[in-house]
Chains A and B, each alone.
Chain A
Amino acid sequence: MKSWSSKSTALMVGVSLLALTACEEPKVDAFVFESLDQCKSDPLASSDQCDSSFAEAQTQHATVAPKYASEADCQADFGAEKCEEAPYKTSSGGSVFMPLMMGYMMGSMMGGRGGMMSQPLYKSAKSPNSFRTAENKNVGSKTGGTKVARSATSRPTFKSSTRSRGGFGSSGSRFGSAAT
Chain B
Amino acid sequence: MQRIPVTERPNLADAAAEHELEYSDSKGITGWDESAYYQFTPQQIEEDIKGPAEELEDLCIQVVGRAVENEEVLSRLGIAEPFWDYIAQSWRSGEKNLYGRMDLSYNADGPAKLLEYNADTPTALYETAVFQWEWLEQATEQKLIPEGCDQLNDVHDSIVQAFPHMGIEDVAHFACNHDIEDDKGTLDYLEECAREAGIDTCSLAMADIGTDDQGRFTDLDEQPITALVKLYPWEWIMAEDFGRLVPASGVHFIEPPWKMILANKGLLPLLWGMFEGHPNLLPAFFEDDPAAATLAETGRYVHKPMLSRQGANIEIVDDGKTLLHTDGPYGDDAHILQGYHPLTEFDGGYPLIGCWMVASKAVGLCIREDKTLITGKEARFVPHVIQD
A interface vs B, CB < 8 Å? 1-2, 67, 87-89, 91, 157-180
Contacts and interface: CB of A to CB of B under 8 A. Distances in A.
Nearest to B122: A180
B213 A161 contact: yes
A178 B237 CA distance: 11
Contact of B309 (A88, A157, A174, A178): A178
A177 B223 contact: no
Contacts of A173: 177, 179
Interface in B172-211: 175-177, 179-180, 182-183, 186, 205-211
Nearest to B242: A167
B263 interface: yes
B212 interface: yes
Q: Is the interface of B mostly helix, strand, loop or mixed?
A: mixed
B174 to A, nearest CB: 13
A165 B208 contact: yes
B29 interface: no
Given A161-B222, A168-B242, A177 B182 contact: yes
B182 A175 contact: no
B121 interface: yes
Contacts of B299: none
Chain B interface size, as a band, is 35 or more
A41 to B, nearest CB: 36
B240 interface: yes
B213 A177 contact: no
Interface of B: 101, 118, 120-124, 175-177, 179-180, 182-183, 186, 205-213, 216, 218, 221-224, 231-233, 236-237, 239-243, 245, 263, 309-310, 329
B359 to A, nearest CB: 19
A162 B239 CA distance: 21
11 contacts: A2-B222, A162-B211, A163-B213, A167-B241, A168-B207, A168-B237, A170-B241, A172-B206, A177-B309, A178-B233, A178-B309
A164 B210 contact: yes
Given A88-B213, A177-B183, 18 more contacts: A89-B213, A158-B223, A160-B223, A162-B210, A162-B218, A165-B207, A167-B211, A167-B240, A168-B206, A168-B209, A169-B205, A171-B240, A173-B179, A177-B180, A178-B176, A178-B232, A178-B309, A180-B233
Contacts of B212: 88, 160-163
A154 B121 CA distance: 36
B281 to A, nearest CB: 19
